[in-house]
């Protein structure tokens, strides 16, 4: 599977563009601020129905305009499919595939798997647990459409339950039976999220460990654990919520559940956030992304699109060489790279044996 052509209208700083891609390696070069990352984000949006940073759709519309439109031609074993993503300010986004409207985005996400490696990945280590859950959700949503459906359902129920807790506090009343209706409804989606996250991490951690060793050449061992208050044998989400009822009432929000899950990132039994060096963090994050890529490839049976944003700024020359080596050796699918320095990119291309395309990005100058 690869992206053959992309047409962009009114997306971020891109007024209109048509890009015809190489099946292997595509490079966006240009000065900072001119739209390289926006090109990757357009691809990300077409695959995952959302921007890389999770921005609301209305922020993706080019300033001064009232809609954007993305059109992609994906080629899969000689079969072409055309995907159109449309968003007009004030409406809901719409996706079409081969002329037919996509009814549920949860069924669409995962058809064109994608992994993006970006400078802000460091927030996975440095920021709060939300970023790490987002990593889990973005990966698992592409693997299982049921996961994404249950996630949407769980989040809706959670919003309603939290609103109810707020109302109780404001109106100085409490209705245990009403609250417990939500508790019971949350049981099934929570169980799916807990189980799929647990199974995923059991596979993901050894893969991460192997890739970290390969990238860093270091002795320390990388590990990632599932930090959860998922109910243990026999207990249920309903029990869990009941045991936290007083706390939830006091804090006016749901204090336990999959929306509190976290990842425990470790190098040789030490927390990455507290003890790892800058270099170790870079290697750890790169290993995480490559493991994400590998799992998606195994699960989907196709190579995901790989989006590498400002990779050369993030990684020192030695790691870039290793990465390029890995990419060549492991026969990755289609790759998109951005860099502000053309000579540096040209040096990499000289070492790349396959077909490639370079795009000079100047959208910001229009
Ligand atoms: N909705 C938008 N409308 C117009 N311009 C936007 C919008 N969102 C972002 N931009 C502009 O896009 C530019 C950043 O583009 P980006 O792709 O990040 O550049 P780079 O080439 O450095 O990766 C900024 O100048 C920003 O103001
Ligand atoms: Mg950029």
Q: Could you read off the pLDDT of 22-69 as tens digits, one per residue?
A: 999 999 999 999 999 999 999 999 999 999 988 999 999 999 999 999
Give span(s): CATH 1.20.1050.90, the chain: 128-301
pLDDT at 219: 79
* Ligand 1 lined by 63 (C-beta under 6 Å): yes
pTM (predicted TM-score): 0.94
Give span(s): CATH 3.40.50.300, the chain: 1-113+303-366
Q: Which helix (H) or strand (E) holds 327?
A: helix 317-329
pLDDT at 234: 74
Residue 13 Cα to ligand 2 midpoint, Å, equals 12
46: its two tokens: 């077409």
Label the pairing between strands 100-101 and 94-97: antiparallel
The residue whose CA is least distant from atom 16 of ligand 1 is 35
Label the pairing between strands 67-76 and 79-88: antiparallel
Model confidence band, residue 350 (pLDDT cutoffs 50, 70, 90): confident
Q: Report residue 269 CA to chain centroid gap.
A: 26
Residue of 12, 32, 342, 363 to mutate, ligand 1, most atoms within 8 A of C-beta:
12
Instruction: Give ion ligand 2 contacts, CB < 5 A.
Output: 36-37
Taking Cα atoms as reference points, which of 116, 112, 231, 245 lies closest to residue 176? 245
Q: Average pLDDT in the 334-346 region?
A: 90
Taking Cα atoms as reference points, which of 34, 97, 30, 87 lies closest to residue 60? 87
pLDDT at 344: 82
Q: What pLDDT, in 10s, does the model give residues 219-276? A: 789 999 999 999 887 788 999 999 999 999 999 999 999 999 999 999 999 999 999 9
* Ligand 1 lined by 10 (C-beta under 6 Å): no
Burial class of residue 54 (count of CB atoms within 10 Å of its CB; 0-12, 13-18, 19+) = exposed
DSSP one-letter string for 50-81:
S-TT---GGGGBPTT-SEEEEEEEEEETTEEE
Domain at 1-113+303-366: CATH architecture? 3-Layer(aba) Sandwich (3.40)
Taking Cα atoms as reference points, which of 237, 293, 327, 362 lies closest to residue 25? 327
Which CATH number is 128-301 given? 1.20.1050.90
Tokens 């000079």, located at residue: 360
b vs e for 115-143, b when ≥16 Cβ sit within 10 Å of the residue's Cβ? bbbbebbebbbeeeeebbbebbbbbbbbb
pLDDT at 317: 65
pLDDT at 354: 81
């Amino acid at each position: 599977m690869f992206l053959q052509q992309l047409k962009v209208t009114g997306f971020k700083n891109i007024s209109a563009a048509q890009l015809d891609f190489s099946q292997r390696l595509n490079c966006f070069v240009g000065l900072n601020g001119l739209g390289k990352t926006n090109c990757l984000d357009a691809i990300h949006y077409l695959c995952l129905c959302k921007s890389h940073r999770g921005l609301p759709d209305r922020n993706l519309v080019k300033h001064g305009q009232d809609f954007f439109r993305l059109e992609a031609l994906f080629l899969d074993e000689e079969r072409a499919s055309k995907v159109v993503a449309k968003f007009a300010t004030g409406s809901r986004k719409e996706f079409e595939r081969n002329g037919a409207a996509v009814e549920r985005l949860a069924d669409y996400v995962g058809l064109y798997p994608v992994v993006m490696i970006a400078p802000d990945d460091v927030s996975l280590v440095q920021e709060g647990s939300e970023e790490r859950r987002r990593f889990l959700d973005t990966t698992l949503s592409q693997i299982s459409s049921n996961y994404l459906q249950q996630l949407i359902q769980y989040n809706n129920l959670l919003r309603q339950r939290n609103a109810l807790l707020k109302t109780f506090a404001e109106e100085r009343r409490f209705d245990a039976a009403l609250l417990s209706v939500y508790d019971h409804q949350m049981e099934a989606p929570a169980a799916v999220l807990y189980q799929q996250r647990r199974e995923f991490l059991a596979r993901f951690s050894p893969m991460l460990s192997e890739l970290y060793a390969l990238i860093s050449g270091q002795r320390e061992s990388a590990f990632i654990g599932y930090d959860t208050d998922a109910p243990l044998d026999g207990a249920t989400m309903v029990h869990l919520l009941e045991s936290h009822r007083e706390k939830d009432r006091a804090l006016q929000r749901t204090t336990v559940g999959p929306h509190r899950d976290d990842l425990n990132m470790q190098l040789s039994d030490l927390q990455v956030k507290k003890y790892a060096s800058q270099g170790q963090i870079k290697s750890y994050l790169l290993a995480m992304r490559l493991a994400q890529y590998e799992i998606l490839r195994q699960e989907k049976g196709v190579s995901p699109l790989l989006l590498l944003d400002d990779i050369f700024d993030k990684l020192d020359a030695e790691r870039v060489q290793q990465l390029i080596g890995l990419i060549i050796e492991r026969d990755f699918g289609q790759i998109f790279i951005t860099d502000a320095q053309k000579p540096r990119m040209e040096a990499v291309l000289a070492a790349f044996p396959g077909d490639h395309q370079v795009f000079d990005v100047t959208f910001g100058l229009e």
